[in-house]
Amino acid sequence: MQITRAIVPAAGRGTRLYPITKAQPKEMLPLGARPVIQAVAEELSAAGVTDILLVTAENKRAIEDHFDPAAGLTHDDAPDEARDYGFPPDAARFYAIRQGGALGLGHAVSCGEQFASDEHFVVALGDCTMTGPEPLQRLVEAHLRHEADVSIVVQHVGREATKRYGIVAPGDRLDETSLAMTDIVEKPGPDAAPSRYAVAARYVFSPALFRYIAALEPGLGGEIQLTDAIRAMLADGLRGIAVPLMPGEHRLDVGNIASYGRAFIRMMLTDSGHGEGLRSYTANLLAHIDDPNHPDPDLPSDA
């Protein structure tokens, strides 16, 4: 079996990023020299995905246009130094569906039921990426190797941070990259958290997921929560696994201003074309902020 399809939920309202998101999708915010959702598509393509369903909303047409090779600027319009940052036109096929209201992540994923057909598929949230493509590749390989129904990339978080994430209850270690997963709890306090492994925005599912989403009543905030469907799958004995990020791997999330700022700085400073110059600029800027006698890097050096 191969996994070639992915659903990318990108229909959320982005209220935490107001006013940036008043009239534009957060998924189009730049992370370094590319929009975050393009980095997501690059991860998917590197993991062998060929067909990507974008779940969008009425005010998110920019996402659909971004992956339409004929819309707006084309590859050929771009100067050489910019072209390399574009998404290669033949790297994947894109499809789009409107969610029709931000009714929760579970609901967004269920919009892809027909698209997924009866195959296993990836879900990759459109508002965050990883520092490299490896975590998603490991996840897909582990899902297939262990014949799982639900597989999730997880990241180790601080004790107080558990209340911001879905937290998984790990079972036995299965191999070098994977742990069994016995339960998942949405945003538990530090004392109730079954571990410090937080869900990190990348999943692989068997088509059984859709049955479980269809059976859900709206949960927290009136939304259909993906976590509730995963919980029900695990309670029924379907096989779940968790694949932790390795040391040095990072999830980069644009969901709020603080995390967006960190993600943007990391991507910009490590960019292959612009990183070196910006690292030197940043070092001088920090020195100037600490000590105004240090030359301001935005003024000419012979001023």
Residues that bind ligand UTP (CB under 6 A): 9-16, 27, 55, 99, 102-105, 107-108, 125-127, 255
Name the residue nearer to ligand UTP (CB basis): 112 or 244. 112
Instruction: Name the residue among 259, 151, 156 with its Cα closest to residue 202.
Output: 151
* Class of residue 241 by CB neighbours under 10 A (exposed 0-12, middle 13-18, buried 19+): buried
What is the separation of C-alpha 87 from the centre of its chain, rounded to a whole number of angstroms?
17
Provide the minimum distance between the beta carbon of 80 and ligand UTP in the complex, in angstroms, as a whole number. Answer: 32
**Is residue 132 within 8 Å of 267, Cβ to Cβ?**
no
Q: Residue 152 and residue 232: Cα distance in Å, rounded?
A: 15
Q: Where are the alpha helices (DSSP H) in 167-291?
A: 208-214, 226-235, 257-269, 275-290
Name the residue nearer to ligand UTP (CB basis): 108 or 157. 108
Residue nearest to ligand UTP (CB): 12
Provide the minimum distance between the beta carbon of 98 and ligand UTP in the complex, in angstroms, as a whole number. Answer: 10
Provide the minimum distance between the beta carbon of 53 and ligand UTP in the complex, in angstroms, as a whole number. Answer: 11
Q: Residue 243 and residue 230: Cα distance in Å, rounded?
A: 15
Provide the minimum distance between the beta carbon of 101 and ligand UTP in the complex, in angstroms, as a whole number. Answer: 7
3-class DSSP state of 251: strand
DSSP 101: S
Provide the minimum distance between the beta carbon of 133 and ligand UTP in the complex, in angstroms, as a whole number. Answer: 19
Name the residue nearer to ligand UTP (CB basis): 2 or 256. 256
CA atoms within 13 Å, Cβ hemisphere of 279? 10
Instruction: Name the residue among 74, 75, 53 with its Cα closest to residue 63.
Output: 53
**Is residue 89 within 8 Å of 69, Cβ to Cβ?**
yes
3-class DSSP state of 82: helix
Name the residue nearer to ligand UTP (CB basis): 223 or 296. 223
Name the residue nearer to ligand UTP (CB basis): 10 or 130. 10
Provide the minimum distance between the beta carbon of 199 and ligand UTP in the complex, in angstroms, as a whole number. Answer: 11
Provide the minimum distance between the beta carbon of 108 and ligand UTP in the complex, in angstroms, as a whole number. Answer: 4
Name the residue nearer to ligand UTP (CB basis): 89 or 100. 100
- φ and ψ at 113, to 5 degrees? -60, -50
DSSP 88: P
Name the residue nearer to ligand UTP (CB basis): 180 or 202. 202
